[in-house]
Chains A and B, each alone.
Chain A
Amino acid sequence: MLLKVNEIKQGDVLILEIEGRLHGADSADFQDKIMDMLKEQPPKMLFDLSGMTRVDSMGLRAFIMTSNKVKSYEGKMALCGLQRIVEDVFDISGFSSFFTICKTREEALSGLNGN
């Protein structure tokens, strides 16, 4: 399955819907794509992972690098809709407390918008 990334702009939040397996070569492409987007320094980023079925070390690194970058220009970032198998990766690797992770998109949006 090919990785699909849909960009949606909602207010000042850049929502990225990720579908498929964030794995192998796709992870590297994904990392490049996100680094490109970060040049414009979006103030708030939300990754909706409800369609993402797998993440590998490269994928996880892409999220870590994004988070570090966003923090460096004092932006905000959140993840939502993690499937069980993806949630597992974040949990066991100890990164679930490193990121802001929400169950639903609504919850994440209200968190990012400071409600």
Chain B
Amino acid sequence: MNDVSKEKSVRENLTVKLAIKQGAEEEAMRSGLSEIPGIRRVEISRFEGTVSVGFNPQIISRKEVEELIRQPARLLNRLDEGGGRKWLASYGAYLVFVIGLVLALISLYLAHAGGGQSGITPLYWVVNGTLVLLGFSNFYRAFRNLFSKSEVNAELLITITTLSAMAMGLWTEAALMSFMAIMAHTLRKAVIHFTTRGSPLNALLGARVALVRSGDDFLEVPVSEVQVGQTVLLRQGMMIPVDGKISSGMGEVLESGITGESSFRIKEQGDEVYAGCVVQYGTFEMHAEKVGANVSLAYLEKLIHYAATRKTKRQRTVDTVAKICMYVLVPGVVFLSILYGQFTGWDNRDWMVPSIHLALKAMIALSPFALILATPLAVYAGILKAARRGIVFKSGDVLERMKSITSLLVDKTGTLTCAQPVVSSIQPFGGHTVDEVLKVAVMIEQKSNHPIAKAVMRRGEEQGVKADEADRFLEFEGGGACAIKEDEHYKIGSLWLMQDGRPIPDEARAWMEAQQVSGLTPVLVGAKRRIIGGISFEDEVREGAAETLRLLKKQGIRRLVMVTGDNKRVAERLARQLEMDDVIAECMPSDKLAQLTRERSQGYVPGMVGDGINDAPALAAADVGIAMGAVGNDVAVQSADVALLTNDIRSLYEAVRIGRQIVKTIDFNIFMVFAVDIMMLLFAFLGWSTLQETIMAQMAVVFIVILSSLYIYARKV
């Protein structure tokens, strides 16, 4: 093997067996890998489940290549790296661009100085020859793609036109075309480089914490600071922050963050768990084995990388149009030009010259350089801009769907109101005391991540109430939580959860009714087969909620519906305050789904905003699901199309705005490209433009497309 690789010395192959999901993952893998220096060929066979890569072992080691294939999330990091060869490669390209620009300007000057009659001087040869040579790598890429992938692309078209221009002795034009290829390639790279510089996710890193054992307690520690060997507590609904092994407990984990498939796995002591997977059920402790920002953010990075690089529906349509240009229109107009030239120059011996001139102009006009950049760069810039603001779009298609949303279902608790309700009152029953009720509640809720649980814990801390850990714990989404301590059952939650045969005192029912009438959320606390008390909670409207809803209406969302599991009175009071159009209270997760269907039957395109496990089905089913992720549940984040990782409802408006901005920019780009292309074609046939002017116009279009994408990134929301 060694001898063989020495003989070839510059090329080795590696094939890795790996299940690749169609679409996003495949695209991301291909585009990501081929950007890595030293990797020359990427072949993905979904049918065989393999990824084959040709690489230069002198630049990148086999081990590194294998790691990049197996952990695609690292690709983005790798592409982001500030130092090393990648830096040189990028800045080298910029240097070529600047030299190219200077040479192009000199070339134009030489062509026009002295009325264009300055003649063919040595300088003319040096300038134009150098510029053509600078574009050599583009020509090489074009031919390589033609022969290795039978791919006809814009670069090939420009290569053919450049070579034709050279053959005709049009050196200025050849040089300009070569510069256009350099410009499109470099500026595309620059947009990607500029938008991904640093890690776009650094801002999000602080938002995520892990619960790390310290003595008998668990402390909230930023996930990037978790150390190998520490014990991390995993609660229901949490995203696993680092890689490691289960040290105690049992539960169910959704592994789609890693595998891309929705696979639920039961995990027990000794089983491995991976960062990015979500605990669907159960509570366990894990031993951290692989830590660091890369591991913990791998899932989100993967999401953004996929989203930014996958083709949207619109882009696929545009690509088809570009292909039609390449395969049908270009040969068509070349043929027409020759006919045209023949007819107009029949009596002229040199009929070929004007017709080839015309054909070149037509080819330049129709070369889809700008067209193929029109969508992906805007999507890329928009998704990365959003990511820096803590808004994660999971695909480019979401942006387009975002534009069509006409009604929005908004969950109440955690979305419109602060995620942290506060304890309003504690009512003991049957001779028990407030402290007893609180102590039981703290004992159960200390293992929960639910907002209600956090409110209980805060009240417990304020009153200095401490409780032992429960032996076993179980949380029901939208129902409450249960625990076992020394073989006794303890519960906190809705009335139905208490109906396990224990007596329900009349005073408890009356108290619950009274709390609901006054717009509060009551739960009952049960201990040792009795109901010992109740706790009621109140929630505050989030800062900026009313303003955000008003702005959303201005963005074209005609109907705002509050959906909540809370009781009717609480919901209606808040809905009036926030001027919602409708309110659906006492919702089970399935009722939220049913409401989506009702919205659709009334002709609306519904979006859904939520934060909890119980919102997850509706988030997945809505046309656009938006999860309030920083405070909410990771199951919700996984089900949604958009995750807002800031704890601010105003980012909901930003998400909608950015989505619309991107789609607008894409529409503008595509319209402009087509308009200018058609105009150039028309001018060419009418003889109103020179070849140089056509090239300049195409260059201007490419430049505007790139600028408009950068503008999305740079402008304020």
Contacts and interface: CB of A to CB of B under 8 A. Distances in A.
Given A94-B491, A95-B500, A85 B281 contact: yes
A93 B476 CA distance: 9
Interface of B: 250-252, 264, 266, 280-282, 472-474, 476-480, 482-484, 489, 491, 496-497, 499-501, 588-590, 593, 616-617
A92 B236 CA distance: 15
A1 B263 CA distance: 9
Contact of B474 (A29, A89, A97): A89
Interface string A72-89: 000000000000110011
A61 interface: yes
Given A56-B476, A60-B476, A88-B474, A98 B500 contact: yes
A91 interface: yes
Given A25-B593, A27-B590, A57-B478, A92 B472 contact: yes
B482 A93 contact: yes
Contacts of B250: 84-85, 88
A94 B473 CA distance: 11
A29 B312 CA distance: 34
B337 to A, nearest CB: 60
Contacts of A64: 496, 499
Contact of B264 (A54, A61, A88): A54
B622 to A, nearest CB: 13
A105 interface: no
Contact of B616 (A24, A84, A85, A92): A24
Contacts of B489: 92-94
A83 B170 CA distance: 79
Contacts of B617: 24-25
B478 A92 contact: no
Interface string A28-71: 11000000000000000000000001101110110010000000
Contacts of B616: 24
Contacts of A84: 250
A4 interface: no
Contacts of A60: 476, 479
B105 to A, nearest CB: 63
A55 to B, nearest CB: 9
Nearest to A68: B499
Interface residues of A, number: 26
Contacts of B500: 93-95, 97-98
Nearest to A93: B482
Contact of A91 (B281, B480, B484, B499): B484
A92 B483 contact: yes
Nearest to A92: B474
B261 to A, nearest CB: 12
A57 B478 CA distance: 8
Contacts of B499: 64
Contacts of B501: 97-98
Contacts of A97: 500-501
Nearest to A55: B281
5 contacts: A24-B590, A24-B617, A28-B590, A57-B476, A57-B497
B478 A21 contact: no
A94 to B, nearest CB: 4
A30 B55 CA distance: 54
Nearest to B616: A24
Contacts of B588: 28, 58
A24 B589 contact: yes
A57 B479 contact: yes
A61 B476 CA distance: 11
Contacts of B264: 1, 21, 53-54
A28 B593 CA distance: 11
B252 A54 contact: yes
Nearest to B479: A57
Contacts of A89: 474
Contacts of B482: 92-94
A92 B593 CA distance: 29
B19 to A, nearest CB: 18
Nearest to A98: B500
Contacts of B472: 88, 91-92
A54 B484 contact: no
A84 B250 CA distance: 10
A28 B597 CA distance: 15
A91 B497 CA distance: 13
Nearest to B593: A25
Nearest to B251: A85
Contacts of A53: 252, 264, 266
A6 to B, nearest CB: 21
Nearest to A61: B496
Contacts of A56: 281, 476-477
A58 B614 CA distance: 11
Nearest to A21: B264
A58 B587 CA distance: 12
A21 B280 CA distance: 12
Nearest to A83: B266
A27 B590 CA distance: 9
A58 B266 contact: no
A88 B474 CA distance: 9
Contact of A92 (B479, B484, B496, B590): B484
Nearest to B478: A57
Contacts of B478: 57
A54 B250 CA distance: 13
A57 B266 contact: no
B281 A93 contact: no
Most buried by B among A21, A27, A54, A58: A58
Interface string A1-25: 1000000000000000000010011
Contacts of A25: 589-590, 593, 617
A93 B497 contact: yes
Interchain residue pairs A-B with the least CB separation, the first 8: A28-B590, A57-B479, A57-B476, A94-B489, A92-B474, A93-B482, A24-B617, A98-B500
Nearest to B281: A54
Contacts of A58: 588-590
Nearest to B529: A94
Contacts of A27: 590
A92 to B, nearest CB: 4
A56 B499 CA distance: 16
Given A25-B589, A64-B496, A93-B491, 8 more contacts: A27-B590, A56-B281, A61-B496, A85-B250, A85-B251, A93-B476, A93-B489, A94-B500
Contact of B477 (A1, A57, A85, A91): A57
A113 to B, nearest CB: 24
A93 B15 CA distance: 50
A41 B616 CA distance: 35
Contacts of B477: 56-57
A89 to B, nearest CB: 6
A94 B500 CA distance: 7
Contacts of B589: 24-25, 28, 58
